[in-house]
């Protein structure tokens, strides 16, 4: 098999299943290029995929030749080449059909960022805290507006004042 940061060619069903399992187990984004080597656009996009693999070590890049693995491409609903499927946890989250370099690069960047942010538990906690804080603040503001009271904030003094 290929080293990391390279496109891994799956030329048997067993190799495909092994790499799919490995990607799911590691919770990595998988970008699978379904190609036909004899088709010109597939040849043109191949170096782009290889470059993306080098620049995105957090992503697994696989290549499946539709002529070698017809059953795999049929199972995944591939009816045109090149087709790039973006998989997370064994589910298709996005797709690019055609040798669309810019769209492929944009979607790899987007989904790689999404995958890395959801893999970091500390970020998930920060997001949850920020969401809860924003929600509580919105609730307090809505309550104050509805009741005509002003909720104390960091800039509003909350100490009682003496009256004569």
Q: Where are the domains of the chain?
A: 7-113
Task: Give the pTM.
Answer: 0.70
Residue 48 pLDDT exceeds 90: yes
Q: Can you give the pLDDT at residue 50?
A: 96
Lowest mean pLDDT: which of 46-50, 59-63, 144-148? 144-148
The token pair that represents 90 in the structure block: 């064994």
Lowest mean pLDDT: which of 8-17, 117-126, 127-136, 154-163? 127-136
How many percent of the chain have pLDDT more than 70? Answer: 68
Q: Can you give the pLDDT at residue 21?
A: 95
CATH assignment, 7-113: 3.40.30.10
The pair phi, psi for residue 108, each rounded to 5°, is -65, -45
Average pLDDT over residues 88-104: 97
**DSSP character at residue 77:** T
């Amino acid at each position: 098999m290929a080293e990391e940061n390279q496109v891994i060619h799956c030329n048997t069903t067993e190799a495909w299943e092994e790499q799919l399992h490995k990607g799911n187990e590691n919770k990595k984004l998988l970008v699978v290029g379904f190609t036909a080597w004899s088709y010109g656009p597939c040849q043109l996009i191949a170096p782009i995929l290889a470059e993306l693999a080098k620049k995105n070590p957090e992503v697994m890049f696989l290549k499946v030749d539709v002529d070698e693995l017809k059953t795999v491409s049929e199972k995944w609903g591939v009816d045109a080449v090149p087709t790039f499927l973006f998989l997370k946890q064994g589910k298709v989250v996005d797709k690019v059909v055609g040798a669309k370099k810019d769209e492929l690069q944009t979607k790899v960047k987007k989904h790689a960022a999404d995958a890395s942010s959801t893999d970091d538990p500390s970020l998930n906690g920060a997001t949850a805290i920020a969401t809860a804080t924003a929600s509580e603040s919105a609730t307090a503001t809505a309550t104050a507006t509805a009741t005509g009271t002003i909720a104390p904030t960091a800039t509003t003094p909350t100490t009682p004042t003496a009256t004569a």
